Structures are given as C-alpha cells and as structure tokens.
Amino acid sequence: MRHRRPPRPGALQTLSPLRILTQILLLQTLHYASAIALILLTALAAGKPFSLDLVLSWRSLRGDTTVGWTLGLCWVMCAGAGIISLLLLIARSKLVLDFALSLHFIHLLVTSLYSKGIPRNWLWWALQAVSASLMAGGGVWACRWRELRPIEFGGGGAAKGKGRDGDEGVGYLVGKGKGRGRDGGGEYEMVGIKDGEDSV
C-alpha cells in the first residue's frame, strides 16, 4: 500500500472549498454594495430615480446617453473598490486573477438572469473587460506590494528610524546581546591617532 505524503502546513486551510466560497460571496457582496452606493449617490446627484435596473440590467448601460456613460464610470470606480476588497480578503497575488474573473463571471450570470437574456451591448462587454483587467492588475500589484514588504522581527518601534547622518535604514536594531551593535556588525571602538605614528 502506498503511503501518502502529509499535506504541507496551511494547505487545507488556504484551499478549503468552504473558505473559497465564503471569500467569493463576501467579494461579490462588497462589489454590489459599492456599486449600489456609487450609483445611488450618482442618481441622487443627477436627480434621477434609483432602481435596481441601474445596477443589474445591462440595458441601462448604453453608449448613447449620459446616464449610460455615468454608470460606466461608476462601475470602473467599483473596480477600484474591488482592488481594496481583493487586498483585504484574498491577500495572495496568485489567487487574485481567479477571484477577479469569478466575480465578473458571476456578475454576467446575475445580469443575464435579471435581464432575461445575455448582454448584447458592446459597452457592457467592454466595461466588464476593463473592470476585470483593472481588478486583476491592481489586485496583483497591491497584494505583491503587501507580500514583499520587509518583515520586522521584534525590536519595537524605537529601532526604526534615521541614523545620525539622516540615512534611512541606519540605526535598525538587529539584536541585543554580547558583541552586537545597533547595526548588527558588532561593537567597534574608536581609537585616536597619535601624532608621529605611521599608519599602515
């Protein structure tokens, strides 16, 4: 009988189907909440009545009216809010593309069911492509920025700062103990030079 290798630590928690489903539902909820908030504020500012058609119907998003272009701008701004959601909920750059495309695919299904037909508007499709690209690209950048930040190991907040000459990074406290200075290179003693001695 073959022995199975034990899963790596954290593998079951990060790839749990229930966790992925919960993340997708939270991401979708935040996406629609930001869309409703932006579209509601825009409709109130424009003096137009708010309805769910503005959010869920592809027929409202038309290229020949200012309402359609304003809705398009609101959806692009929702992609910006989606980047923040991806950073906070997903936080792993290699998963961002999957979640961004899943969010837009679910939005396609919701829009098709609500409108009782697959979207036939070029502006809607172009907007979804732009929104998915912005969310994926911005989400990957934001998550990588977060992943690549330096890791701080203790030392407290007093260790960070500027050195004597104003250089960034000088003065980081690496550790305490015998033989360790503030820069981690050991302790050095300044010895004065006597007049008349040859230096090597």
* Residue pair 164/128 in contact by the 8 Å Cβ criterion: no
Q: Considering only the C-alpha atoms of the chain, give the largest distance between any 2 of them, rounded to a whole number of Å.
A: 97
pLDDT given for residue 168 in this prediction: 52
Among 6-15, 39-48, 93-102, the least confident range: 6-15
Whole-angstrom distance, CA of residue 182 vs CA of residue 186: 8
State yes or no: pLDDT of 163 exceeds 50. Answer: no
Question: Which secondary structure element, helix H or strand E, spans residue 86, and what is its range?
Answer: helix 66-89
Residue found under tokens 């050991």: 186
| Measured CA distances, 194 to 28, 135, 191 (Å) | 75, 66, 9
Residue 100 in contact with residue 135, Cβ under 8 Å? yes
Q: Which residue, among 139, 106, 134, 126, has the nearest Cα to 62 in the 3D structure?
A: 126
d(CA 94, CA 144): 9
The angle that helices 122-147 and 66-89 make with each other, rounded to 10 degrees, is 30
Closest Cα partner for 149 from 69, 65, 87? 87
Tell me what pLDDT residue 161 has: 46
Q: Which one-letter DSSP state was computed for residue 154?
A: S
- Sign of the C-alpha dihedral computed for residues 10, 15, 19 and 23 taken in this order: positive
Provide the 3-class DSSP secondary structure of residue 30.
helix
pLDDT band at residue 164 under the 50/70/90 scheme? very low
118 has a pLDDT exceeding 50: yes
Q: What is the pTM of this model?
A: 0.69
Token readout for 84 is 């923040």
Q: Which of 53, 140, 152 is nearest to 101 (CA)?
A: 140
Q: Would you state the pLDDT for residue 199?
A: 55
pLDDT tens sequence across 120-151: 989 999 999 999 999 999 999 999 999 888 88
